[in-house]
Structure 1
Amino acid sequence: MTDISQTIYDTLPYRPCAGIMVLNRNGLVFVGRRKGGPEHVDATHVWQMPQGGIDEGEDPYAGALRELYEETSIRSVEKLDEIADWLAYDIPRDIVGEAWKGQYRGQKQKWYALRFTGNDSEINITAPGGGHHKPEFIDWRWVEMKSLPDLVVPFKRPIYEQVVASFSRLA
């Protein structure tokens, strides 16, 4: 793992990103099991909600819908809410050189809550929409919202706690 100096780390920007909480009709939340990555610490904390980078000049909500489709093939959604502020997290310093080619210290995320109005058969993580990248998830499931912070890698836990607090009334 590449460990960078604190000075360099502190000057790195945050990667703009959209995070998507997809709730089904029963109030359960979609999570995907990550395929891999330098941030994985164990087999328990590999689940997360869909998220991904926002392209330069792209509207954050449009980016969220694009990322959701590219990771899950989900298009049948209704917007329920969004968190007004950007939420940021730092990745551990020892993996900065491996994640995003060392260009970012973490992500600043704009979060949206969406109601899934389709059928589970619409969800396709093995050949997701867009077809221009490899799948990010190797499995998926619906979970209770309150369990989300315990499923994600520890450095993302504070963000998930804020997202759950903001959207808990929607479950």
Structure 2
Amino acid sequence: MMNQKDLYRPNVAMVIVSSDYPNSREIFLAQRNDLLDVWQFPQGGIDEGEEVLEALFRELQEEIGTQSVEVIAEFPEWISYDFPPKIAQSMKPFIGQKQRYFLVKLNEDAVINIETQHPEFCDYKFVSVDEALSMSASFKKNVYESVISYFKKEGLL
């Protein structure tokens, strides 16, 4: 039987800054192609037996078409959110996700390509921290606020 902590799917997520960081502190947001007008940070499940950093680079490749990044910082703990009822239906047996968040900087040679093998996004842009918070999905807002305020407090955003 699954216990409460097993009901949250392990996931990795990234706050991506451009290669112009720290001069520019705008962050990458992508528009999902399956939920109307939902913008988010790239994220994805951590496979069984996969290290968190392995998942980070794999998901970057799968979602934005590049692994050419430098990891700047990591949010110090797992952070979780519950799926809204509509999404929860398709994610059974999970009721939410627990995530490891990383702040990553695109390298000079990085080329973003969201037209990946299994595209999840239809658009992307770099926005200010405040814009990112105002555009994010309501069920993720608390997570986004916690992660961004931590990176801000550390002087990174």
**TM-score where L is the length of structure 2:** 0.87
The aligned counterpart of 2:45 is: 53
Cα distance, 1:11 vs structure 2: 8.5
Cα distance, 1:110 vs structure 2: 0.3
2: CA distance, partners of 1:19 / 1:33: 15
Is the CA contact 1:146–1:164 (under 8 Å) kept in the aligned structure 2?
A: no
Q: 1:162 to 1:11 in 2, by over 3 A?
A: closer
Q: Which runs of 5+ in 1 are unaligned?
A: 1-9
Does residue 68 (structure 1) correspond to residue 60 (structure 2)? The answer is yes
Q: How many residues align?
A: 149
2: CA distance, partners of 1:11 / 1:73: 31
Q: 1:81 to 1:11 in 2, by over 3 A?
A: closer
Is the CA contact 1:88–1:108 (under 8 Å) kept in the aligned structure 2?
A: yes
Q: CA RMSD in A?
A: 2.0
Amino acid at match of 2:100: K
The aligned counterpart of 2:69 is: 77
Amino acid at match of 1:107: Q
- Between stretches 104-113 and 159-168, larger displacement belongs to 159-168
Same amino acid, percent of matched pairs: 34
Does residue 164 (structure 1) correspond to residue 148 (structure 2)? The answer is yes
Runs ≥4 in structure 1, deviation > 2 angstroms? none
The aligned counterpart of 1:6 is: none
Cα distance, 1:76 vs structure 2: 1.8
**What do residues 22-45 of structure 1 show as CA deviations (whole Å, max 9, x unaligned)?**
111121111110001xxx4x53xx
1: CA distance, partners of 2:5 / 2:57: 30
2: CA distance, partners of 1:94 / 1:79: 33
2: CA distance, partners of 1:89 / 1:30: 21
Q: 1:94 to 1:11 in 2, by over 3 A?
A: farther
Q: 1:61 to 1:93 in 2, by over 3 A?
A: same
Q: 1:27 aligns with which of 25, 28, 32?
A: 25
**TM-score where L is the length of structure 1:** 0.80
Is the CA contact 1:12–1:105 (under 8 Å) kept in the aligned structure 2?
A: no
